[in-house]
């Protein structure tokens, strides 16, 4: 008899299921690939959106969810389905959310206090830090090198006038949020000679960060930095942290990069700042509404790079999530603290 019965309600390739079983043989990893939508790309945790279960398949799917001690992934990546599972399955004690920002799925489930106390929720935080940090470095470099001007000249077949460009090593960048992603961003930028100022709620050890200031000092910091990189979760406290008021105080021509959550920027105010030149360039992987609406002016602005929430997707993503899950299963079974536990007050 296995010590932990786990059901996989979200697409996961069979070789990775077998890897989890190898890494932690004390769990019974239950899956039925016929009940899951096919993946559209590696790392697709939702699967083909056109996939439909028959009523019999749906009943079998829910029965497997309701028989498990733990879930690898939120059913349907849906807060409503997670809520149903928590209410129907009293033995459920752990749910691993495959996104790094899985706290939003837990919030959307609208769980009762008893359910939040009974079930431990973990995320895949940290798995996506390196690729997201690379996107952030790309954004800072693109802004520094005036990528929009280079592209305008190229498309016009214009051999542009020689003009000086700032050295990245002479720049100061604010990294807002020093979780796993923010620390990776700071480390990579610092390696290029950038002076990195961290913005974080508390003082922590962060390689490559010259100093840390609290979020309340972001307004006084923005006039003195060449770029700002947001690496924040979506919480009530972080909503529109880069606000209209702050965007009125930035250093002219600042670069804005967002690899956290789209709600952390007032998108309307950012659009206006990009149009009038207060913000010189923006590299955005996340948006307030996703997919980005087709009528959003951000699509057309020449000084914006739109990435479809894809910067954290890379070849080893699913394997690393599987390995993280196996390690957390070991910790749960051995009575050790688990990694990436969701704060069920602020949901991150």
Tell me the catalytic residues.
Answer: 261, 290, 309
Q: Give the dihedral sign, CA 191/194/195/201.
A: negative
d(CA 114, CA 222): 43
Phi, psi torsion values for 304, nearest 5 degrees: -130, 135
CA dihedral 251→257→261→262, nearest 10 degrees, is 70
d(CA 88, CA 91): 9
Per the CB < 8 A criterion, the answer to whether 236 and 219 are in contact is no
ω into residue 291 within 30 of 0, thus cis? yes
d(CA 337, CA 153): 55
Helix axes 180-191, 129-144, angle to 10 degrees: 50
Residue with tokens 């910067």: 311
What secondary structure, in 3-state letters, does 93-118 show?
Answer: CEEECCCCCCHHHHHHCCCCHHHHHH
């Amino acid at each position: 008899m296995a010590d932990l019965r786990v059901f996989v309600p979200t697409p996961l390739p069979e070789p990775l299921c077998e890897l989890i079983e190898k890494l932690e043989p004390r769990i019974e990893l239950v899956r039925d690939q016929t009940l899951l939508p096919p993946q559209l790309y590696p790392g697709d945790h939702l699967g083909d959106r056109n996939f439909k279960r028959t009523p019999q398949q749906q009943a079998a799917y829910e029965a497997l969810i309701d028989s498990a001690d733990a879930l690898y992934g939120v059913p349907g990546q849906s807060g409503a389905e997670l809520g149903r599972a928590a209410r129907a399955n009293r033995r459920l004690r752990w749910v691993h959310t495959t996104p790094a920002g899985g706290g939003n799925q837990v919030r959307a489930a609208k769980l009762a206090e008893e359910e939040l106390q009974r079930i431990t929720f973990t995320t895949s935080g940290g798995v996506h830090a390196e690729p997201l940090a690379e996107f952030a470095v790309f954004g800072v470099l693109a802004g520094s090198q005036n990528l929009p001007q280079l592209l305008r000249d190229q498309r016009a077949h214009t051999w542009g006038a020689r003009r000086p460009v700032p050295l990245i090593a002479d720049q100061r960048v604010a990294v807002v949020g020093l979780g796993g992603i923010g620390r990776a961003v700071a480390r990579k930028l610092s390696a290029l000679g950038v002076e990195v100022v961290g913005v974080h709620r508390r003082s922590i050890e962060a390689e490559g960060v010259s100093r840390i200031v609290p979020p309340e000092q972001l307004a006084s910091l923005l006039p003195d930095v060449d770029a700002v990189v947001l690496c924040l979760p979506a919480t009530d406290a972080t909503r529109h942290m880069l606000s209209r008021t702050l965007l009125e105080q930035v250093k002219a021509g600042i670069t804005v990069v967002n690899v956290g959550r789209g709600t952390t920027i007032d998108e309307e105010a950012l659009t206006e700042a990009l149009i009038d030149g207060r913000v010189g360039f923006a590299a955005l992987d996340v948006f307030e509404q996703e997919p980005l609406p087709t009528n959003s002016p951000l699509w057309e602005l020449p000084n914006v790079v739109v990435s479809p929430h894809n910067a954290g997707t890379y070849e080893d993503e699913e394997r690393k999530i599987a390995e993280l899950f196996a390690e957390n299963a070991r910790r749960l079974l051995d009575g050790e603290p688990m990694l990436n536990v969701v704060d069920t007050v602020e949901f991150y």
